[in-house]
Chains A and B, each alone.
Chain A
Amino acid sequence: MGPGRLRRDGADLDILGRRRLWYGLSLALLALSLAGLLGRGLNLGVEFTGGSVFTFTSASATVEEVRDAVGGALRGSGDEQVIVQRTGAHGWRVTTGLTAGDRASDEQVERVRRALAARFGLPPGEVGVQVIGASWGGRVTERAVLGLAVLLIAVIGYLSFAFEWRMALAAVAALGHDLVVTAGVYAWSGFEVTPATLLGFLTILGYSLYDAVVVFDMIKEVTARLGSTGKMTYTQAANRALNATLVRSLNTTLVAILPVASILFIGTTLLGAGTLKDLSLALFVGMIVGTYSSLCVATPLLVALKEREPRYAALARRVAGRDRALAGAGRAAPGDRAARAGRGPATTAHKRRKRQS
């Protein structure tokens, strides 16, 4: 489906008809993510776990040399984040994720210390070691979680007011889906979770809600006068709305993802470990999943909720009866094209007509 065709007559895809496929796909993604989160866990950065700081003085050292010396001492112990900083004229400060306490990590700390001393010709005592607490401590996380909780309540309240509670529920469910899947990617890839990553998560949160709201706005518009003619079920109307907004969704995602993709590319290939890589992976995955979930998770959930409403259930029965009658008469049903978007009775009618011909 190239943009050319989309542009001329709008898309005509039966998205909601394949909802079992989407549910299956999302459940599989969620299961995989949860397995990763529980099985492998997240690779939390120094800011969460605390770490060790090494300080020493050297007039001749360069950032690369220091990084190299520490990296050599840490070889084989995973890709630890190492922050090298100058302090004052000749002072150096190296922050690593090493925590002291047990024997293994104490040994590692000692190894880094000796490596730095050897490399820059200092007695080991001249390299100071300090084990520090997490800067992104309990309270910062606590407040962020509190903020998130209040945020979700506020958004549900607002969407219930602007749309209706079913849409609010579906949008927030899709949001949870996006966040879990993104977190799963971190668990499996072993990318480090830093405060920057959390900010990426928050961006996804905003993006996911934004996207769902744009889609729901179109659904609300298309289904507003539904039932006056009895030609379409809610599901079919929602499918139309999805098609009407599909070009927008794809364009927006593409436009939003192009810069993120280039950050991810440069962050991974040219720069290696660092904020850029941490942040852009969360955004890259989160935006793709966010667009997917607005179309294929939030909307099916919404439709499932709406079809339980008596008036739309009755409408679905009317439409099905009408389609059956039309099919029985052996004529091409005018509502057929739309009916294909539906499922159940409409599909049966379609098959029956095929058998007859």
Chain B
Amino acid sequence: MAALVAQQGAFVPRYGLDLAGGTTVTLSPVTPDGSRPSRESLDLAVDIIRDRVNGSGISDAETVRSGDTIVVSVPGRGRQEILELVGTTAELRFRPVLAVAPARADAAGAPTPPGTPAASARPEPSAPASPRASGRPYPPATPDPAATPGAPPGGGQGTPAAPDPLAGVDLTGIESALAEEFRRIDCSARSRGQGVPDDPGARIVACSQDGSSRYILDRAAVRGVDVADATAGVDPASGEWIVTAEFTGLGATEFARVTGRLTGLPEPRNRLAVVLDGVVVSAPAIREAVPGGTARIGGDFTRETATRLAHQLRYGALPLRFEPGTVEEISSTLGADQLRGGLLAGGLGLLAVVGYALLYYRGLGLVAVSSLAVAALLTYLSVAVLGAYAGFRLSLPHIVGLIVSIGVTADSFIVYFERIRDGLRAGRPLPLAVETGWRRARRTILVADAVTLIAAVTLYLLAVGGVAGFAFAMGLTTLIDLAVVFLFTRPLVTLLARLRFFAEGHRLSGLARPRRTVGAEPAPRGT
């Protein structure tokens, strides 16, 4: 773990919003008809955005509804990328592909998607930045001379005339309006049609996310709300990043039906597009029906894009669209004095604990103090590593929680030491007392730590916001406590018991034999 820390240069834990300040984004919702969004849809949006920015529950982000806007604060300065994360509408659909073509005819040199039969013939007269992909029929009066005559009336055999850039694209059964739109769409424009009204019951024209291809897509077969869960991972067979999506009961049935239907259709109509927010994220060919409700989506993902898609799939039903609002940097809410005060207090408290342990347990106190030091070091390293890799943000409540965990960690040693002394009081020789004491203390420590772990895991899984992060810290310190007691304290005591200083029960060893053993009350049975 130390190596991990060193490698990342992450010797410093990341601090939370309250200690380090962060970036705030204000989002204004946009409804299709311009009316005020309902309170319920705003609250739902807050929940979804909270999940997005605080996905694993330990990053200490804050999401607040403020009037009709939503204010998102994440720890760390200059984090413009959260705008993208929180503002994406992310309505997800699976739509069968009806036709594919390269983005623009003049992009002939650009790589075409595999299996796309379209070979562009001639540069398309530069299309005006059109009102793209709206699903509405395109107005016939256009500056493009090639377009209007090329569109066949009605459905029918829609292969356009020879100079058409879409030569070779099979437009069988596609409405002329749609074909026309397909011809006009400019996927190389900056905006690729995100967020246009995307009626799941209608066929649409859309661009791929990288802007390299354009598609005509059928009605939505499966919708985002039918996705139960999604994860990103590496395919062990090919070593490529893939996204695995699991569907709910109804979604699984639908998905099995549509994949079954697509199998065996000629390219490109055997492909199923994953459409997010009006943009084709991926359009894999379906080679066989996918029963069982789990789909694997591949397609040139990097770790980053796969993770992003999995996130988007998982929280794919944002009920409102947002206008990206202002991004501001904010200072810490607490300020440095609280952090300094907390650390000072923690230091003073630790000093008192060390003093008490040495006074009361003498030589054994050294074991307790060094065990605490090891636990503290492990905790620090874990917090630093988790900050660098998992987005863990240390906030003031966490720090106080960690200081409190000193007590629970120390208790494990105290239970053990008291058991050893019980054994000595009962007249056992030191090595035996160390052994039997450990057996009994071990059970107590395991049972008691199990309760804390149950509490931590339950709260982490069920609670949201700050509680989840806190529960995470609680579980972490409990595990560290177990590791230290089993792997450090216990071997150390066994080792020390062989030293003369301890074995002979020196007055300062903390293992001095009680003077009144004979004639005193025998120790409780079983102790």
| Chain A contacts to B: CB under 8 angstroms | 3, 7-10, 12, 53, 63, 83, 85-88, 91, 93, 130-140, 143-144, 146-148, 150-151, 154-155, 158-159, 162, 195-196, 198-200, 202-203, 205-207, 209-210, 213-214, 217-218, 221-222, 224-225, 240-241, 243-245, 247-248, 251-263, 265-267, 270-271, 274-276, 279-280, 283, 287, 337
Contacts and interface: CB of A to CB of B under 8 A. Distances in A.
A143 B66 contact: no
B424 to A, nearest CB: 11
Interface string B238-258: 000000000000000000000
B410 interface: yes
A222 B526 contact: yes
A25 B121 CA distance: 92
Given A199-B466, A276-B396, 4 more contacts: A139-B47, A151-B462, A255-B410, A262-B352
A263 B341 CA distance: 8
Given A85-B331, A207-B407, A8 B516 contact: yes
Interface string B426-451: 00000000000000100110011111
Nearest to B470: A199
Contact of A7 (B404, B421, B454, B520): B421
13 contacts: A85-B332, A91-B328, A139-B43, A139-B464, A140-B463, A143-B467, A196-B396, A202-B471, A203-B474, A256-B404, A259-B353, A263-B346, A276-B338
A209 B452 contact: yes
Interface string B279-296: 000000000000000000
Interface in B159-176: none
Given A244-B524, A259-B406, A262-B345, A135 B418 contact: no
Contact of B396 (A225, A248, A275, A283): A275
Contact of B458 (A147, A214, A283): A147
A260 B403 contact: yes
Nearest to B361: A251
Given A255-B357, A255-B411, A280-B400, A143 B345 contact: no
Contacts of B462: 143, 146-147, 150-151
A87 B467 contact: no
A210 B515 CA distance: 33
A217 B521 contact: no
Interface of B: 18, 21, 24, 43, 46-47, 62-67, 71, 328-335, 337-338, 341-342, 344-346, 348-350, 352-353, 356-357, 360, 396-397, 400-401, 403-404, 406-408, 410-411, 414-415, 418, 421-422, 425, 440, 443-444, 447-452, 454-456, 458-459, 461-467, 470-471, 474, 514-516, 520-521, 523-527
B426 to A, nearest CB: 11
Given A130-B67, A276-B341, A206 B455 contact: yes
A241 B338 contact: no
Contact of B463 (A9, A133, A147): A147
Given A137-B65, A255-B411, A256-B404, A206 B452 contact: yes
B526 to A, nearest CB: 5
A210 B477 CA distance: 14
A10 to B, nearest CB: 7
A195 B443 contact: no
A267 B526 CA distance: 45
A12 B521 contact: yes
Given A130-B66, A132-B66, A257-B407, A222 B455 contact: no
A263 B451 contact: no
Nearest to A132: B66
B181 to A, nearest CB: 41
Contacts of A10: 422, 425, 521, 523-524
Contacts of A83: 333
A302 to B, nearest CB: 16
Nearest to A162: B447
Given A144-B463, A198-B467, A262-B348, A214 B411 contact: yes
B524 to A, nearest CB: 5
Which are the 4 A-B pairs with shortest beta-carbon distances? Answer: A256-B407, A259-B349, A147-B462, A263-B345
A255 B414 contact: yes
Contact of B342 (A130, A225, A257, A276): A276
Nearest to B402: A259
Contacts of A337: 521
Contacts of A196: 396-397, 400
A283 B348 contact: no
A258 B356 contact: yes
Residue from B66, B396, B403, B407 whose CB has the most chain A CB atoms within 10 Å: B407
B464 A143 contact: yes
Contacts of A207: 404, 407-408
Nearest to A254: B356
B64 A93 contact: no
Contacts of B440: 221
Contact of B330 (A87, A253, A267, A271): A87
Contacts of B349: 258-263
A167 B342 CA distance: 37
B360 A251 contact: yes
A130 B335 CA distance: 23
B338 to A, nearest CB: 5
Contacts of A144: 459, 463-464, 467
A158 B331 CA distance: 44
Contacts of A225: 525-526
Contacts of B465: 136, 140, 143, 195
Residue from B335, B345, B515 whose CB has the most chain A CB atoms within 10 Å: B345
Nearest to B349: A259
Contacts of A217: 443-444, 447-448
A134 B64 CA distance: 7
A330 to B, nearest CB: 23
A207 B400 CA distance: 14
